[in-house]
Amino acid sequence: MNWALFNTEIFYFCAAVVFLVLAMLRQTGHRTSYHTALFLAALGVVVCIGTLHLDGLLFLESYRIDLFSQVCKALLAMGLLLVVCLCSELEGVAAEWHNEFYMLLFTCTLAMMLLVSSVHMITIYVSLELSSYTLYVMVALRRDKVTGTKAALKYFLVGVVASAVMLFGLALLYAACGATYLTDLVRLLPPLLNRPLVMTALLLTLCGFFFKLAVFPFHFWAPDVYAGAPNQLAAYIATASKVAAIAILMRVTAVAGDATGFLVDSLVVVAIVSMTVGNLVALVQKDLKRLLAYSSIAHAGYVLIGILSLTPAGYSGALFYALALVVMKFTCFLVVIKVADDGRNIDLDQLAGLHRRAPLLAMALMLAVFGLAGIPPTVGFTAKLLVFNAAMQNGYLTLILIAMFNVVISLYYYLLIVKAAYLTEPAAEPAPMPVSGPVKGLVFALVGTMLVTGIAPHYLIELARRATRVLF
C-alpha cells in the first residue's frame, strides 16, 4: 500500500494530535495556540497543493485519490486557513477551550477531506459522521453556554435523524444491488432505477447530503446554528462544510448516470423550494448571521441546479460555484467578525456608518454581497452563469426562469446590507475601527480573488472541468 497517497490526511491528523497534546498540557496561552494553528493551516495548504496531481486507490479500493478529490481538499485547506486567520481574537470561545477548538477544527477538516475521497458506503458514512460530530461539539463551545448548547442540540437532533435516514437509504441500496462500492453501483444501478425500492433508497440516501448542504427539507437547522455558533465557526460551516457537501453530492449523483427521470425531478423540486424559501425568509431577517444562513440555503439551491444537470458542464459549474461561495461568504463573515469585536451577534443596523469607520471593510462587504447577488464582474456572476448555462443546455428553461426570479428577490436583501453599510447614518458619531496590517492584506487578497476570478476565470474553469471529468 502506497502511504504517500495518504499524505494530506496524515498531515491533518498529526495537526489535530498536536492540539490534543497542547490541550492536555494546559500551559499554552491563546496567542501561542493561534500562531501554531496559523502555521499548521498554512503548511496544510502547501501540502494539499503539493499533492494535487496524485492518483490512486487505497484501503481495498474504498478510498479514491484523484484530481477531483485533491482539488476539493485544496479548497477545504484554504477554507480552514482563512477561518484560522480570523481566530486572532477568538472571543466567542472561552480562552481555556481554544486548543480544543483548534483540535476539533483540524479533525473536522480531516473528516471532510476523507469524505471527498470516499467511494465506499462505510468510508462515506464514517467520514460524514466524524465531520458532523466535531461540528456539534464546536457549536456547543460558544462562550454563552445556553445559546451555544441549544444551537448544538438542534443541529445534533436534525443531524442524527438525517444521517439515520441516509443510512437506511444506503442499506436499501445494498439490499437491492448487493454492492457497497460506488464503482460497482455505477455498473449495477442504472437498469434497476425504475424499481420503487431503488427509487426510495436513492432519495433517502440523498437526505444525509441535503442536511450537510442545508437544503430543503433539512434546512431549518442553519439559521439557529449560524446564530448560536461562535462567529468563526459559522464562517467555517458556511464555507468549508459546503464544499465537502457539494463534492460528495456530485460523487453520489454521478452514480445514477444520465437516464434518470425521477431523480432529476426530485432534485428540481428540492432546488426550487430551497431557493424560494431561503430568499423569501431572508427578506425579513434582522440578524446578519441569520440572513447569511438563509442566503446560503438559497445558494445551495443554485448549486443543485448545476448538479441536477448530471453533465460534466453542470458538475464543473457546481465546483466553480463552491469556490466562489468560499471566497464570498468568507468575506462577509470577515466583516461580521471584525464589527462584532467581542464575539456577539450583530444586527443589520449595527453596520451603520461602516464606510466611515472602516472604508476597506465596507468596500469588501459590498463586493462580496454583489458577488452573492450575482452582479458582474465578480466571481459570483461567473459561477451563476456557468451553472445556469449548463442547465440551459439540458433544456430546463422553467427552472432557470424560477432561479432568475429568485435572483431578483435576493437582490433586495443584499442591497439592504449595502445600504446599512453605506447610506444609514449611525445614531452617534462613529469611532474609527482599527484594521490591522495582516487583516488589510487578507482583505486585499480576497477582493483581488473575487475580481480576478470574476474577470478571467478561464484557468479555474479549466481546472474544475478537468477535476470533474474523472467522475464520469
Partner 1 sequence: MVPFGHVLILAGSLFLLGLFCAVTRRNLIMILLGVEIMLNATAIVFVGGSLLWQQMEGQAVTLFILAIAAAEVSVGLALIVSIYRRTGSVDPHQLVEYE
* Least distance from partner 1 to the Cβ atom of residue 179, Å: 8
Joined together, the cell numbers standing for residue 166 give 441516509
Give the residue among 436, 254, 258 at the shortest CA–CA distance from 338.
436
Answer whether 213's CB lies under 8 Å from 267's CB. no
CB of 306 to partner 1, least distance (A): 31
**SS percent in the chain: helix, strand, coil, step 5:** 80, 5, 20
| Among the residue ranges 48-56, 79-87, 171-179, 258-266, the one whose residues contact partner 1 (CB under 8 A) | 171-179
Whole-number Å distance between alpha carbons of 256 and 254: 5
Nearer to partner 1 by Cβ, of 173 and 362: the residue is 173
Size of the site for partner 1 (CB under 8 A): 31
Cβ proximity to partner 1, 35 vs 145, nearer residue: 145
Q: How far apart are CA 179 and CA 182, in angstroms?
A: 8
**Minimum separation from the CB atom of position 223 to partner 1 (A):** 13
By beta-carbon proximity to partner 1, the closer residue of 150 and 465 is 150
- Look at residues 207, 211, 214 and name the one whose alpha carbon lies nearest to residue 168: 207
Cell of 117: 475521497
- Shortest distance (Å) from residue 167 CB to partner 1: 5
The closest of 348, 345, 350 to 92, measured between CA atoms, is 345
* CA–CA distance, 151 with 229 (Å, rounded to integer): 7
Shortest CA distance to 300 belongs to which of 322, 326, 331? 322
Angle at 371 (CA atoms; ends 335, 277), nearest 5 degrees: 90
**Nearest-approach distance from CB 396 to partner 1, in angstroms:** 33
Nearest distance in Å: CB 15, partner 1? 21
CB of 233 to partner 1, least distance (A): 15
Between 179 and 415, whose beta carbon lies closer to partner 1? 179
Instruction: State the minimum distance, in angstroms, from the CB of residue 133 to partner 1.
Output: 5
Nearest 5°: the CA angle 374, 327, 307 is: 65
Kindly report the three-state secondary structure assignment for every residue of 146-206: HHHHHHHHHHHHHHHHHHHHHHHHHHHHHHHHCCCEHHHHHHHHHHHCCCHHHHHHHHHHH
Count CB-CB contacts under 10 A for residue 72. Answer: 27
From the list 45, 110, 165, 346, which residue makes contact with partner 1 (rule: CB under 8 A)?
165
For partner 1, the closer of residues 344 and 465 by Cβ is 344
Of 59, 168, 220, 422, the one binding partner 1 by CB under 8 A: 168
* Of the residues 13, 174, 220, 422, which one makes contact with partner 1 according to CB under 8 A: 174
CB closer to partner 1 out of 165 and 215: 165
Least Å from the CB of residue 215 to partner 1: 20
18/167 with CB nearer partner 1:
167
**Of 62, 319, 6, 55, which is closest to residue 185 (Cα–Cα)?**
62
Nearest distance, CB of residue 200 and partner 1, angstroms:
10
Which of the residues 100 through 159 are near partner 1 (CB under 8 A)?
121-122, 125-126, 129, 133, 136-137, 140, 145-146, 149-150, 152-153, 156-157
Range in contact with partner 1 (rule: CB under 8 A) among 32-40, 94-102, 105-113, 166-174: 166-174
- Nearer of residues 24 and 164 to partner 1, judged by Cβ: 164
Rule CB under 8 A: which of 375-414 touch partner 1?
none
Taking the least distance from each CB to partner 1, the nearer of 142 and 299 is: 142
Which parts of 190-229 interact with partner 1 (CB under 8 A)?
197
- In the set 28, 180, 311, 394, which binds partner 1 (CB under 8 A)? 180
- Taking the complex as a whole, the smallest distance from the CB of residue 143 to partner 1 amounts, in Å, to 13
Interface with partner 1 includes 164 (CB under 8 A)? yes
- C-alpha span between 128 and 118 (Å, rounded): 10
d(CA 189, CA 254): 11
The least distance separating partner 1 from the CB of residue 110, rounded to whole angstroms, comes to 16
| Sequence-separated (6 or more) residues with CB below 8 Å from residue 210 | 162, 216, 217, 218, 270
The neighbour count for residue 128, using CB atoms within 10 Å, is 27
Which is nearer to partner 1, 43 or 153 (by Cβ)?
153
Question: CA-CA distance, 288 to 365, in Å (whole number)?
Answer: 12
Q: How far apart are the first and last CA of the chain?
A: 25
Name residues whose C-beta falls within 8 Å of residue 286's C-beta, 6 or more positions apart in sequence: 347, 348, 349
**Site residues (CB under 8 A) for partner 1?**
121-122, 125-126, 129, 133, 136-137, 140, 145-146, 149-150, 152-153, 156-157, 160-161, 164-165, 167-168, 170-172, 174-175, 178, 180, 197
